[in-house]
Amino acid sequence: MNAIIDTNVLVSGIFFKGTPFDILLAWKKGKLRLIITHEILAEYKRVIEELADKFPSIQVSGIIEQIAMNSVLTFSINLPEPICTDHDDDKFFAAAIASKTRIIVSGDKHLLVKTGYSGINVLKPSDFYRTYISKK
């Protein structure tokens, strides 16, 4: 199962518990392949570093390296037009289209309202986990 995970889901899984944490555990156990681009990885790194200062008890060293080494890196494409109201979220669709990945996991309303675009489903973490992970 390939999926693209937006930054908020990733950092929620790292810094908090709940379904995003369970999704990351599934990834670590090999039940899920994360698809990333350089742009997505850079955003992950920036946000993790910002939050690390606020949550010094959480060990974040090596997380970006682990993601980079244990994910499928694809090159992004240039989209013919903006997709999301927040154009910064377009990178997730660009990665999905480039890699032919059909699932983006996100709680972001700018992404969720675009579900179905180019055959890509945007699922909330709980829906993704229930549909694709907990059944395995």
pLDDT digits (tens, 9 = 90+) for 78-117: 888 888 888 889 999 999 999 999 999 999 999 999 999 9
pLDDT mean across residues, the chain: 92
The amino acid occupying position 6 is D
**Backbone φ, ψ for residue 95 (5° rounding):** -65, -40
Cα–Cα distance measured from residue 103 to residue 87, given in angstroms and rounded to the nearest whole number: 19
For the residues 19-46, what does the mean pLDDT come to? 95
Residue % of the chain over a pLDDT of 90: 72
pLDDT at residue 24 greater than cutoff 70:
yes
Residue-level pLDDT at 15 = 87
Distance between terminal CA atoms of the chain? 11
Burial 113-129 (b: 16+ CB within 10 A, else e): ebeebeebbbbbbbebb
Cα–Cα distance measured from residue 80 to residue 133, given in angstroms and rounded to the nearest whole number: 33
Domain of 81?
A: 2-133
Residue % of the chain over a pLDDT of 70: 99
Listed in order, strand segments (DSSP E) in 17-66 are: 33-36
Q: 91: how many CB neighbours lie within 10 A of its CB?
A: 22
| Domain CATH code at residue 27 | 3.40.50.1010
Residue-level pLDDT at 118 = 93
User: With contact defined as beta carbons under 8 Å apart, do 45 and 64 qualify?
Assistant: yes
User: With contact defined as beta carbons under 8 Å apart, do 23 and 129 qualify?
Assistant: yes
Residue-level pLDDT at 81 = 86
Residue with tokens 């829906």: 127
pLDDT at residue 122 greater than cutoff 90:
yes
Residue-level pLDDT at 59 = 77
pLDDT at residue 136 greater than cutoff 60:
no
pTM for the model: 0.93
**Number of domains present in the structure of the chain:** 1
